[in-house]
């Protein structure tokens, strides 16, 4: 990374150009110093659970045990590095959760020589989900660690492996030969009333530690791959000085080869491996560890069994580790390949980072259960609802590009739960249910958005089987949505909340209206493909009538007013930042322009004058014609920047020919996240227009909509046939 021999601590820009191990192209990535990022890359795949590897080198916020909200900072889980050269040796710890309380508060339990500087506190951190590169120095060795979980567009199975791989490239930059040892310790936190057991074993061509517990099938495996000298310690107490991991490791970089924890009388024993090698001056070697996990008894919110998809493929964590070891070269190269493609493109540097890292939500918010169903929560932590359709309308774009099999899977679930009257549910269940759909929430847009996603998925894949299965549900959804036109103007009315669910609109609104008009264009397109002439003609007729009413009620000469209800006199001339949302989706899925082009351009300029000008950090949702922010909503929905909506406006600008404006808006939106807030792996739903600070929502699903910018700029889909 950077200059291979560059010393830690050099002053560098936040966005830097680096060359990561295994990559052909130079990457554009944000460099964080020690502990600087407020979030970290989650190591985990599709529906596997994950553990965060943070910018201080610590493991934290683990959900590996199916604890999706009660997240756990795994005790006794960290790396240690030993070096020896010229008669001088030292031992350092990478990470902060060696103990609870943190390591620095208990440094007295170590060898006295380790008191003052036990932890590595100077490093460079580069996150690019599902990979993390960390560079640090323990004299005379520079260490480049690269951790990753397999993630391969077009290969959902190999993107759903419950494992993480850790490469350590160690280089001797001193003038004398040296010894270096890397130790990896992991705590046995398997929930059990019985005994937790760690044991060292050499089996199935791999060697390492296997962690189990009585009365459960749960397990971990920690293995080393390579020919370095391997020593092990199956048990040490991460809560007290106990048998003492560091006192043993710090002497010679070796562990005492204790093969089992069977005789210990404490809970949650940690186990460790140490791989030791020698280096000539200027020599580099690689040490590799694999951590695998297996917690097959995932349950829904009632406690009913759901299971994990990965339990259909593997029998335990050792089996997972064996599979990874046997297929590591392919898994690694294919994970690198899609990122390398992005880094090698002519996309803006900041967008490359935004695209790659947006996918972290797939590790933090997804279930892939034993019977094959997949679900992406709106946010397991802040708004736990399984597959909120109004969030997947935005956030499912990269899934439709990269994993169409899973995208179809979710769409079939919505189709299965379609009500007899044609209504599409708002979600599959709340909080973690796949079979408790509900319908009345945001029903003004649910069915229309289902139609748009169905059209997108077919047009992007050409999968005839999918179209044949989904088309009857599309027709029913359109007929149902049409019943929500309560004033007979051929535009769906505000009969419920919509996406801004703390900001009430009335009558005909620009947000709901454009989504409905786009829905009719999508339904007409699918009807034409199916040869359903009558339905296609009806959709066209309804669209023409609806567009006429929409223009008459909402166009004010510069932009579309927020809403208008002539029957009651309720109306708002607030300018909505993403008022062209339906037109944006039509651009995205190839349906062209259905609003007058001069109106599209006028709206883009009005939003620039009002909503963009009102902040330095994106697009404010609601702004009055006089330039004042609209504060009429609850929950800051009108007076905030919704991050995904800013990306949508930016993409609409690009589609409509205003590329520079679109890129300017998207850039400052993402730079606030990555550079100011330092939360690229925990992007909220909305932020303050005053200072860009985070307002509400944790790890939000909908923000993967940033992938619309890839499509807007390239005119292509990101390949799912790698």
CA 166/CA 164 separation, integer angstroms = 7
pLDDT (0 to 100) of residue 12: 41
Q: Mean pLDDT across the chain, nearest whole number?
A: 94
**518 or 111, higher pLDDT:** 518
Mean pLDDT in residue range 486-497: 94
**Start-to-end Cα distance in the chain:** 26
Residue 99 has pLDDT above 50, yes or no: no
pLDDT (0 to 100) of residue 581: 99
pLDDT confidence bin for 266, thresholds 50/70/90: confident
CA 433/CA 455 separation, integer angstroms = 26
Mean pLDDT lowest among 8-17, 84-93, 337-346, 478-487: 8-17
Mean pLDDT lowest among 96-110, 323-337, 349-363, 533-547: 96-110
Instruction: For residue 402, say if its preceding peptide bond is cis, omega within 30 degrees of 0.
Output: no
Distances (CA, A) of 494 to 126, 498, 546, 562: 45, 8, 15, 11
Tens of pLDDT, residue by residue over 500-549, are 999 999 999 999 999 999 999 999 999 999 999 999 999 999 999 999 99
Give the sign of the dihedral formed by CA 606, CA 610, CA 612, CA 613: positive
pLDDT confidence bin for 242, thresholds 50/70/90: very low
Mean pLDDT in residue range 461-485: 99
Mean pLDDT in residue range 95-108: 45
Class of domain 346-714: mainly alpha
DSSP state of 275: E
Environment class of 302 (CB within 10 Å of its CB; exposed 0-12, middle 13-18, buried 19+): exposed
CA 409/CA 415 separation, integer angstroms = 10
Tens of pLDDT, residue by residue over 677-694, are 999 999 999 999 999 999
Distances (CA, A) of 534 to 423, 454, 530, 583, 666: 22, 20, 11, 25, 42
Mean pLDDT in residue range 684-707: 96
CB 466 within 8 A of CB 508: no
Query: Nearest to residue 672, comparing CAs of 690, 650, 652?
Result: 690
Domain ranges, ordered by start, for the chain: 15-324, 346-714
Mean pLDDT in residue range 416-443: 98
Q: How many other C-beta atoms lie within 10 A of the C-beta of residue 305?
A: 11
pLDDT (0 to 100) of residue 7: 36
CB 1 within 8 A of CB 12: no
pLDDT (0 to 100) of residue 387: 98
**Torsions phi, psi for 57 (to 5 deg):** 85, 5
pLDDT (0 to 100) of residue 341: 96
In CATH terms, the fold of domain 15-324 is: Beta-galactosidase; Chain A, domain 5 (2.70.98)
Query: Nearest to residue 65, comparing CAs of 287, 247, 293, 221?
Result: 293
Mean pLDDT in residue range 475-494: 97
Percent of the chain with pLDDT over 70: 94
pLDDT (0 to 100) of residue 117: 57
CA-angle at 491, arms to 487 and 493, nearest 5°: 60
Strand partners, 231: 274
CB 593 within 8 A of CB 600: yes
pLDDT (0 to 100) of residue 722: 47
Strand ranges, E, within 321-433: 366-368, 374-379, 383-386
Contacts of 251 by beta carbon, 8 Å cutoff, 6+ apart:
none
pLDDT (0 to 100) of residue 96: 67
Strand ranges, E, within 34-122: 41-43, 51-53, 59-60, 78-85, 88-94
Coil, helix or strand for 233? strand
pLDDT (0 to 100) of residue 95: 83
Mean pLDDT in residue range 89-112: 56
CA 629/CA 591 separation, integer angstroms = 33
Tens of pLDDT, residue by residue over 340-375, are 999 999 999 999 999 999 999 999 999 999 999 999
CA 688/CA 221 separation, integer angstroms = 44
pLDDT confidence bin for 186, thresholds 50/70/90: very high
Residue 720 has pLDDT above 90, yes or no: no
pLDDT (0 to 100) of residue 119: 85
Distances (CA, A) of 341 to 154, 338, 357, 395, 401: 15, 5, 15, 22, 15
**107 or 405, higher pLDDT:** 405
Question: How far does Cα 546 stand from its chain's mean position?
Answer: 37
pLDDT confidence bin for 6, thresholds 50/70/90: very low
């Amino acid at each position: 990374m950077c200059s291979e021999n560059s010393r830690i601590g050099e002053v560098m820009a936040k966005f830097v150009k680096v060359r990561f191990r295994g990559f052909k192209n130079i990457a554009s990535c944000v460099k964080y110093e020690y502990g600087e990022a407020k979030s970290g890359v989650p190591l985990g795949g599709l529906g596997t659970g994950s553990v965060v590897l943070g910018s201080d080198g610590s493991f934290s916020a683990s959900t590996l045990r199916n604890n999706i909200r009660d997240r756990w900072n795994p005790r006794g889980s960290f790396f240690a590095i030993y070096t020896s050269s010229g008669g001088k040796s030292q031992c350092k710890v990478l990470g902060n959760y060696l103990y609870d309380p943190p390591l620095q508060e208990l440094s007295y339990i170590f060898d006295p020589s380790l008191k003052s500087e036990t932890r590595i506190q100077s490093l460079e951190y580069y996150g690019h989900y599902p990979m993390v590169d960390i560079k640090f120095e323990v004299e005379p060795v520079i260490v480049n660690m690269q951790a990753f979980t397999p993630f391969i567009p077009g290969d959902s199975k190999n993107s759903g492996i419950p494992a993480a791989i850790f490469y350590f490239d160690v280089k001797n930059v001193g003038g004398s030969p040296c010894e270096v040892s890397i130790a990896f310790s992991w705590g046995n936190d398997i929930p059990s009333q019985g005994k937790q057991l760690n044991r060292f074993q050499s089996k199935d061509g791999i060697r390492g530690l296997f962690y189990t517990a009585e009365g459960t099938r749960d397990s971990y495996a920690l293995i080393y791959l390579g020919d370095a000298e391997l020593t092990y310690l199956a048990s040490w107490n991460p809560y007290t000085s106990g048998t003492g991991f560091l006192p043993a490791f710090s002497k010679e970089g070796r562990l005492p080869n204790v093969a089992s924890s069977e005789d210990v009388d404490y809970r949650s024993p940690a186990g460790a491996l140490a791989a030791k090698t020698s280096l000539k001056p200027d020599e580099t070697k690689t040490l590799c560890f694999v951590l695998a996990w297996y917690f097959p008894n995932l349950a829904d919110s009632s406690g009913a069994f759901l299971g994990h998809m990965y339990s259909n493929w593997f029998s335990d964590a050792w089996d997972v580790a064996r599979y990874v070891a046997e297929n590591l070269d392919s898994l690694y190269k294919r994970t690198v390949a899609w990122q390398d493609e992005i880094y090698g493109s002519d996309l803006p540097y900041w967008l490359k980072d935004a695209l790659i890292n947006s996918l972290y939500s797939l590790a933090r918010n997804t279930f892939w259960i034993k019977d094959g169903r997949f679900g992406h929560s709106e946010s397991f932590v802040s708004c736990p609802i399984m597959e909120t359709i109004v969030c997947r309308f935005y956030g499912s774009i990269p899934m439709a590009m990269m994993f169409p099999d899973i995208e179809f899977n979710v769409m079939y679930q919505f189709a299965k739960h379609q009500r007899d009257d044609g209504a599409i549910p708002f979600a599959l269940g709340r909080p973690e249910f796949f079979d408790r759909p509900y319908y009345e929430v945001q029903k003004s847009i649910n069915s229309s958005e289902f139609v748009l996603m169905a059209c997108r998925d077919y047009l992007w894949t050409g999968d005839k089987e999918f179209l044949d299965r989904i088309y009857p549900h599309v027709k029913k959804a359109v007929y149902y949505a049409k019943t929500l036109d309560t004033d007979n103007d051929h535009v769906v009315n505000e009969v419920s909340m919509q996406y801004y669910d703390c900001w009430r609109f009335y009558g005909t609104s620009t947000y709901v209206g454009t989504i409905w008009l786009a829905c009719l264009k999508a339904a007409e397109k699918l009807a034409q493909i199916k040869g359903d002439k009558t339905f296609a003609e009806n959709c066209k007729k309804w669209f023409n009538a609806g567009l006429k009413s929409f223009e008459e009620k909402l166009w004010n000469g510069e932009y579309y007013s927020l809403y208008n209800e002539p029957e009651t006199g309720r109306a708002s001339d607030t300018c909505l930042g993403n008022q062209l949302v339906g037109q944006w989706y039509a651009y995205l899925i190839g349906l062209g322009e259905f609003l007058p082009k001069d109106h599209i351009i006028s709206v883009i300029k009005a939003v620039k004058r009002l909503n963009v000008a009102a902040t330095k950090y994106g697009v404010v949702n609601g702004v009055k014609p006089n330039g004042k922010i609209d504060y009429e909503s609850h929950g800051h929905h009108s007076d905030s920047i919704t991050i995904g909506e800013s990306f949508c406006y930016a993409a609409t600008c690009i589609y409509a020919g205003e590329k520079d404006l679109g890129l300017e808006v998207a850039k400052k939106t993402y730079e606030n996240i990555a550079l100011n807030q330092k939360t690229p792996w925990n992007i909220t739903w909305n932020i303050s227009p005053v200072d860009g600070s985070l307002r509400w929502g944790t790890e939000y699903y909908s923000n993967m909509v940033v992938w619309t910018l890839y499509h807007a700029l390239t005119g292509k889909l990101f390949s799912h046939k790698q």
